[in-house]
Amino acid sequence: MTNRRQLLTLGATAAFSAFIPRLSSAAGGRDPRFVTIILRGALDGLTAVPPAGDPDYAALRGDLPVEGAIPLDSTFSLHPSMNAFARQYKAGQALVIHAAASPYRERSHFDGQDVLESGMTAPGHTDSGWMNRFLRTLPGAQTASLRGLGVGGVTPLVMRGQAPVLGWAPATLKPVDADLPPRLLSLYQATDPLLASTLTEAIATGKIVGAEKGMVKAGGGPGDPKTMIAMAEGAAKLLAQPDGPRIAALAFEGWDTHAQEKQRLANLLGGLDGALAAFETGLGPAWRDTAILVITEFGRTAAVNGTGGTDHGTAAAAFMAGGAVKGGRVIADWPGLKTGQLYEARDLKPTTDLRGVMKGIMADLYAVPESALSRDVFPDSAGVRPMSGLIA
């Protein structure tokens, strides 16, 4: 049985606050939303966004050519499982950043995710994430009146830290009896006002997320496409509230495609695409001021392995979507796929630092000074300039 301390801890990250002010310092007087989706397991960017126009691509990929890919420009195409993203791209509300990576150059999932989500230059240096530290640069954060949103069974590292965080995850267990919450609330109101307040906020969160019929019910874990969509639907409902959170992080699992990548990645990309569509629908008018960033800890090998998959690599593709995104383009300093152009003769070479992308979003969407981004959000990153022109 969960004890009082555990429930209070849960409430601190699972309760919805109705007193979160708008970010008055946002650039252009906007009321923006910023969402980061982490794809854990290492996305194969060469399959998600195949460089079909590169003369070395087809021979290098062997049994993994993408059939029916959607052309984006003269060089790059999009996996056919991402029709919603293709529509957003055509509408100028989505873009791709290819050959991108964090500062990490090894191939350990755990260390790669640590660097990506912590925003540090090496693993094991902090237990806070760059989105949480970003929250603390915004008005209201120092008084605990501004919260982030962490979606999943465990708050992603990228959103952990000193700034308060609202946590939510789709229900995958059998629902409790309908009369249990009010009975508990009545008990706590008589015996423990702090627990009563926590439970009241938690019930409010559940009502907001489950307010409408037709929501996709979560299937398996966070690597199940139905669960991805359910996570996005719930997050969008919370972010769309007039006084709800404005900054959120989600983590989708299962992107480690060592074998049978063709079938598995099509399924996973379909889930990601459905999640991006769910954000667009669920955010409603707030979509126009939203930027969603999709990133992964590293890419995969340029060549196919012997089991119809790819192994741990380096650079990958990142995605951005939202009404605030200056889209309709692929941003890439393309390194090429010849053996001499590959990183360590095996991986897509990284030519864009993801920290520059993140800094660019925060600088243009929230008017955060570059000095604060390099000092407080991404320590030791003064040499990485914010990428300009990502926000419309």
Boundaries of every domain in the chain:
32-172+218-377, 174-215
Closest CA to 124 of 140, 105, 110: 110
Across the range 285-299, mean pLDDT stands at 98
Q: Are 258 and 307 in contact (CB under 8 A)?
A: yes
Domain 32-172+218-377 of CATH type 3.40.720.10: yes
Contacts of 317 (CB under 8 A, 6+ apart): 43, 45, 46, 48, 49, 96, 97, 98, 99, 100, 299
Partners of 39 in the beta sheet?
A: 252, 296
Least confident of 140-144, 239-243, 337-341, 372-376: 140-144
Q: Residues near 350 by Cβ (< 8 Å), separated by ≥ 6? A: 99, 100, 101, 314, 315, 343
Q: What mean pLDDT is reported for the chain?
A: 86
**Token pair of 54 as six digits:** 């590169």
pLDDT in tens, 243-277: 889 999 999 999 999 999 999 999 999 999 999 99
Contact 36, 250 (CB under 8 A): yes
**Distance (Å, rounded) from C-alpha 194 to C-alpha 268?**
41
> Cα–Cα distance between 154 and 151 in angstroms, integer?
8
Among candidates 264, 256, 263, 265, which has minimal Cα distance to 296? 256
Q: How many contiguous H segments (helices) and E segments (strands) does the chain have? A: 12, 11
pLDDT in tens, 157-196: 999 999 999 999 987 644 455 566 666 666 667 677 776 6
DSSP 58: H
